[in-house]
Amino acid sequence: MQHDPDDKEIIEQILSIKEALGEKLLILTHHYQRKEIVDLGNYRGDSFGLSQKAAAHKGARFIVFCGVHFMAESAEILSQPHQTVQIPDLEAGCWMADMADIQTVERAWGEVTSIAESVMPIVYMNSGADLKAFCGRHGGTVCTSSNAPAAFRWGLSQREKVFFFPDLHLGRNTGNQMGIRPEEMIVWKPEEPLGGNTTESIKKAKVVLWDGYCLVHTRFRVEHVLKMRERFPHAKIVVHPECTQEVVALADAVGSTSFIVKYVENALPSTTIIVGTEINLINRLALENPDKNVLDLHYSLCPNMAKINVKNLLWALENIGQVNVITVPKGIKTDARMALNRMLALAPETTLQRNRESVSERHVGT
């Protein structure tokens, strides 16, 4: 990838600051960041892996999170008192995270638990600190797409039901892979009484799914999969579990961003791999795996992730510890840390991250 002259100078300045700060600085970059940002980070990964890095690097004085706001917030929750967490652009938010707020969730929780007492709250990482704190207070946990099956198994081993928010599709796909029957998973529409459900359906449910979604991954449609199957009959198709269950059912494999990276890396040379996730990751996988034909299922960009660039990263580093500092109130931080620590204690599972090579010979790539 060619950089313009201004960007090259900015990158050199960033590298100079990195060298000067040494181990005092930790730059974390999510897989959906553009290549030049990922190249400048100390670590790349999905939200689970980066949370682990943030928690493990107790020696770092400054943590700069190149991702969206809820990720930097989680790093701040897990940080040590001497650490400062920054994000290059405070406006890098998440539409899905905004689909659930604490007042609406608390009202829904009150309605659900008035009908069924034995309920475990599990919140997706794509959520605000106050919702993570809510789960911490009620004995629940956080999950990412890497460890959603482990979180669901943990929750259902302790209580009769899981109340999962805010991503409907990750929740449904996780439940499907665990063998939970469709009638045991109900959708909670927060604007409707009882979430649009009956008392009886709430009593029968094992999983209550919040009606939220990712705008990036719900852009992928069944027709996109069928079109690519027709064009590339021997290709492998791998998608993210935030896609709809209909898209997931047609894919050869489904898993987190880290799973997708490993899937592409481990594929045989000359394999055509069609990927259903954010375009920046797909473009980078194509560059890093020139011996394979890596294609996007359909173009889908996350504008919020794209708000991080070399200019605002440099600005954050030039003003290290001073600008765009992420702070979480002490009470919320304490409760949210409980939920995040429960998440970190869960090992990622491969139940959701499965391959479907035995489904049909037509799906077997070369």
Residues 56 and 105 both lie in one domain: no
Backbone torsions φ then ψ of 208, nearest 5 degrees: -105, 120
Provide the residue-wise pLDDT of the chain in tens; the chain has 366 residues: 445 558 999 999 999 999 999 999 999 999 999 999 999 999 999 887 887 888 888 889 999 999 999 999 999 999 999 999 999 999 999 999 999 999 999 999 999 999 999 999 999 999 999 999 999 999 999 999 989 999 999 999 999 999 999 999 999 999 999 999 999 999 999 999 999 999 999 999 999 999 999 999 999 999 999 999 999 999 999 999 999 999 999 999 999 999 999 999 999 999 999 999 999 999 999 999 999 999 999 999 999 999 999 999 999 999 999 999 999 999 999 999 999 999 989 865 543 444 444 322 222 222
Residues 181 and 163 in one domain: yes
Domain count, the chain: 3
Q: Is 40 exposed, middle or buried (0-12, 13-18, 19+ CB in 10 A)?
A: buried
Please indicate, yes or no, whether residues 257 and 180 belong to a single structural domain of this protein.
no
In a domain, 344, yes or no: no
C-alpha dihedral sign at 87, 88, 91, 95? negative
Question: Distance (Å, rounded) from C-alpha 187 to C-alpha 172?
Answer: 9
Same domain flag for 222 and 357: yes
- Based on the domain organization, do 160 and 51 belong to the same domain? no
In this structure, what CATH number is given to the domain that contains residue 268? 3.40.50.10800
User: Which stretch of DSSP H or E encloses residue 228?
Assistant: helix 222-231
Instruction: Please name the amino acid found at residue 32.
Output: Y
Please indicate, yes or no, whether residues 117 and 141 belong to a single structural domain of this protein.
yes
- For residue 206, being part of any structural domain is answered with yes
Distance CA 255, CA 354 (A): 7
88 and 119 inside one domain = no
**Domain carrying residue 262:** 217-301+350-363
Based on the fold, state whether residues 131 and 171 are members of the same structural domain: yes
Same domain, 16 and 42: yes
Please give the radius of gyration of the chain, using alpha carbons only, rounded to the nearest integer.
21
Same domain, 132 and 229: no
**Beta-ladder partners of 325:** 86
Between helix 279-288 and helix 257-266 the angle, nearest 10°, is 20
Domain-embedded: residue 256: yes
